[in-house]
Amino acid sequence: MWWLKLCLLISSTSLCLAFPASPTSTACGSIVNNPNTTTFNASFVYECLTSVPFNPAVALGFLDYYNDTLQFQSTLTYLKNPPSSYQQPGVDLLGGLATLKNGVEEGIFPNQYEFEAALQTLLYAAHDGHVTLNAGILAAFSFSSPQDVVSLSLDGIQVPEVYLVKDLADSNFTKAYQPSPITSINGVDVVTYLTTFAGKNSIGMVEPHADWNQLMRSAAQDIQGYSNTFRLATFYPGDTITFTLGNGTNLTDNFQATYYDPGDTGPLETGGDFYNYFVLGLLPASYDPDLVDNNLVNITALELSNDDTTTTFLTSASAAATAAPTAAPTTVASSVPTCESWSNVAYPACANVSEEDLGTFGGGFVSGYFLSGTNIAVLSIPSFEGSDAESFDSAIMDFITKSQQANMEKVVIDVQSNLGGEALLATDAFKRFFPNINPFQGSRLRAHPAADVMGTAITEYFQLFNSTSSTYEDLITDEWVATTKINADTNQLFTSWSEEFGPHSFDGDNFTATQRYNLTNTLFDSVAVDDTNDNFTVFGYGSNSASANAVPAYAADDIIILTDAICDSSCTLFVEMMHHEAGVRVVVAGGRPVPGPMQGASGSRGARGYTTYELDTDIEYAQEILQYNGSANPFFLPNRTTELNVDVTYANINLRDQVRENETTPLQFAYEAADCRIFYTASTFYNYTALWQYAAEAIWTTPSLCVNGSTGFASSAGAKSNLTGPSPSSDAGTITANDILGHLNTSDTSQIPFLTHNDTSIEDTIPAKAVLPLKCESNSDCITLKKFNHVCAKVTLCDANGNPEGQSLRCLPACTPSPLINSGCKGNERCVLNVETCPTKGHCAQQNPNSNSPTFSSTNTPPQGVCDLVCVSGLITVKKSGVAPS
């Protein structure tokens, strides 16, 4: 471990580059530099992943950063000791991080893949769709079965069996012949195999039934452009997969893996290169921005060639314009009616109502269908992510109006595979159906010291501005501004952060007071849904209020919600309002092939997913306020930019719990059974007209269609949360250290040749506290990132020995290189002038090239510079780069 200790002694102002010995595996280079495909055999990708060296110092630094992050996770104590109603094992997230940290220090991880797999195993154990981490080498790939599968009941009553989707389609959904079910996979009983696979790879569901559904092919997922977990798995599943069918047929194929090509990275050849790029975010030294397609094409030459082509085209077009006119082509009227719908055979060809820009790659999601020969109208909402709040609201209103005009009497609202979106759009949809109900929508934060500092600083700063200022608008929906939210205890706006913060102690932890949205404020609503016109108000509130005697267009008994349990975030909020507040019944489809009840909304029931980017920005914002106010201790947490020594694509936590009125346990841990559960069949699995009709019949005409033993468990409107679970309930247990680390293939690194260390050099070392300034492409990016008084500069990075290696664009602080005033640089940084900066994207130039040693006096104005990075190796300070702003 001498090399780890040496690395930790390196100054935290260094950027130490991972610089491994050449591994024996060239798999990573073959994958990255393959111009023909991004799909490879899983075993080849696994060879690449396990060739990526592990840097304990980087891992320890990131675990410290992530430990600070998880202090803001609202459900820590409940996850550690969940009530019996919770259908997944409990997990101690902070204890799990400590286990990982101890493992790093003891040297148990032979490569980067094993470490990242262990960390993701821990985070997946939270079973919270708001707890995600997309970073490192695992973010570069996903693993895939070569075949889709689906779980179907022959008649809707019998326990389902698992089929190959291809076999099902070839049989014309059993009309041509009866497909044979899968009995085993890789020699393991099919249910056991898929249950285990789902337990490892399914993400964010509070019940194993929903984990199971995530493996299955779904049209509701297809229309949104995302795949099931069996085709989008995180962890290496093995080399091959063999499906054994009931008729004795064996089908063997390779597991596949997809490489998510990030674009032009330059030639990444080795596992070390892979580490530097995907873990540290560093381009190789040979990277040339003028060369694309991994250094095969000169972009400058290509652009010049395109310019010549454009000139030729324009010249030809101009000449054609002066030629004699020709006869206009004959227009043939189409007999096909123009209508909108999803381009998917599972959905009707024409929607009676559709949101503007409906489509997989459009911004609209809402569509409505009036089932022929029935009095049933179906409203499909696969997402609340809509790009235009007013368009979403108009589609909901249009559906209600037109369905009534068409004399529809029953409504099915389909939210299958709805992963959430804007909470206020979910509220708006609810209010369109029930304008006479003011939903509670209570939520709270975990009350800990860092949260208190942030809330105090940002709320007091916000109160300095009036409602017409841009700062007021920027902060009105900020999580750390208390005075724009309603205190659920008083039904009045909070008057201060201290009123919101409390803290209040429940179940072994501290929480803030319960807050509610102030939806009467149009500016709040508009900013919350990113309405650029600032004129959106949730229906039923403020300037968009309903009439005093408004009544629902449809009674609650005449509406059902249809889910597949994959209902996350804002979708769970919608179901909570519709079922708990209004009394609408819920039908859930699918689940494991066993009878009994199933929960309707099994995704995250948290009220606010909060990215680490938002968290880091808000922490830095609070620190800047405290510094401006002269606080004696503005750095209540370590500098997040300094702490984050890993390139994170996306990471998320759950900041606020969703809680019911006068309750303290988060809804995440309550048992909320659907009123009826149905199985998918061959005729309903990919024919949603039939599925909607089947769900309607199960509730309104033929209750025997509900799965045996699935009814009688749902709560009634306004009831207290069920914290005991179905009877008989069972303890799902607790995630242990072995569960987190049990995937390790070996702890003997000496037997892995491409991880053998060269005793004469330091490999892939980086200090745990290395400074990694935020990435940028132009000066405006730095402003967007709230890095004020910073510029986007081209930085030369260095390895642990102080040798230059690779360049990257980073936001660095501006300074004045004058002995007469404070330059603004820290530690060993130097204020320099002659380095490239990027005032706009793609346009970088060296500034003040002849100003290395300017002469200053008390009468002239010194030029502006930028604090450069200084690499430190041992006791020798090595100057690397100077940066000058535009």
Average pLDDT, the chain: 83
**Tokens 């209902």 found at:** 567
| pLDDT number for residue 614 | 94
Is residue 778 exposed (0-12), middle (13-18) or buried (19+ Cβ within 10 Å)?
buried
Q: For 650-700, write each residue's pLDDT tens digit.
A: 999 999 999 999 999 999 999 999 999 999 999 999 999 999 999 999 999
**What is the DSSP code string of 523-585?**
HHHHHHTT-TTS----TTSGGGPPPTT---SS-GGGEEEEE-B-B-THHHHHHHIIIIIT--E
The pLDDT > 70 percentage for the chain reads 80
Alpha carbon separation from 164 to 167, 198, 255, 258, 792 (Å, rounded) = 5, 17, 15, 21, 52
- For the record, the structure tokens of 796 come out as 């030369």
Give yes or no for residue 562 having a pLDDT over 50.
yes
Give yes or no for residue 418 having a pLDDT over 50.
yes
- Total count of residues recorded for the chain: 886
> Between residues 231 and 781, which one has the greater pLDDT?
231
Q: For 176-213, write each residue's pLDDT tens digit.
A: 999 999 999 999 999 999 999 999 999 999 999 999 99
| pLDDT number for residue 804 | 56
Alpha carbon separation from 667 to 430, 438, 577, 658 (Å, rounded) = 19, 19, 12, 6
| pLDDT number for residue 743 | 58
| pLDDT number for residue 197 | 96
| pLDDT number for residue 59 | 95
| pLDDT number for residue 275 | 94
**Per-residue pLDDT band at 817 (split at 50, 70, 90):** low
**Per-residue pLDDT band at 799 (split at 50, 70, 90):** very low
| pLDDT number for residue 392 | 93
DSSP 819: T
The predicted model gives 355-382 an average pLDDT of 92
CA neighbor of 483 nearest in space, from 520, 526, 515, 531: 515
| pLDDT number for residue 286 | 73
Give yes or no for residue 878 having a pLDDT over 60.
no
DSSP 422: -
| C-alpha span between 781 and 840 (Å, rounded) | 9
| C-alpha span between 482 and 447 (Å, rounded) | 13
| pLDDT number for residue 495 | 97
| pLDDT number for residue 771 | 39
| pLDDT number for residue 869 | 53
| pLDDT number for residue 734 | 74
The sign one gets for the Cα dihedral 536, 542, 543, 545 is positive
Q: Which of 150-159, 252-261, 367-376, 832-841 has the lowest mean pLDDT?
A: 832-841
Domain range summary for the chain, segments of one domain joined by +: 2-142+260-292, 442-503+517-525+607-657, 779-879
- For the record, the structure tokens of 832 come out as 């320099």
Give yes or no for residue 795 having a pLDDT over 50.
yes
Residue 89, helix vs strand vs coil = coil
| pLDDT number for residue 801 | 41
Segment holding 810, helix H or strand E: strand 804-815
Give yes or no for residue 372 having a pLDDT over 70.
yes
Give yes or no for residue 56 having a pLDDT over 70.
yes
| pLDDT number for residue 262 | 85
Q: Please name every residue paired with 812 in a beta bridge, in sequence order, or none if there are none.
A: 791
**What is the DSSP code string of 194-261?**
HHHHHHHH--S-SSHHHHHHTTS--HHHHTTT---GGGSBSS---SEEEEEETTS-EEEEE-EEEE--
Cis bond upstream, residue 35 (ω within 30): no
Q: Which of 131-135, 171-175, 748-752, 847-851 has the lowest mean pLDDT?
A: 748-752
> Between residues 863 and 437, which one has the greater pLDDT?
437
Alpha carbon separation from 799 to 111, 276, 770, 836 (Å, rounded) = 20, 11, 12, 21
Is residue 209 exposed (0-12), middle (13-18) or buried (19+ Cβ within 10 Å)?
buried
Q: For 721-732, write each residue's pLDDT tens digit.
A: 999 998 655 567
| pLDDT number for residue 841 | 84
Interacting residues of 158 by C-beta distance below 8 A, sequence separation 6+: none
Q: For 735-789, write each residue's pLDDT tens digit.
A: 777 777 765 654 333 332 222 222 222 222 222 223 356 778 888 888 776 566 7
Long-range pairs for 873-877 at CB < 8 Å and ≥24 separation?
873/10, 873/14, 873/800, 873/801, 873/802, 876/802, 877/828
The pLDDT > 90 percentage for the chain reads 65
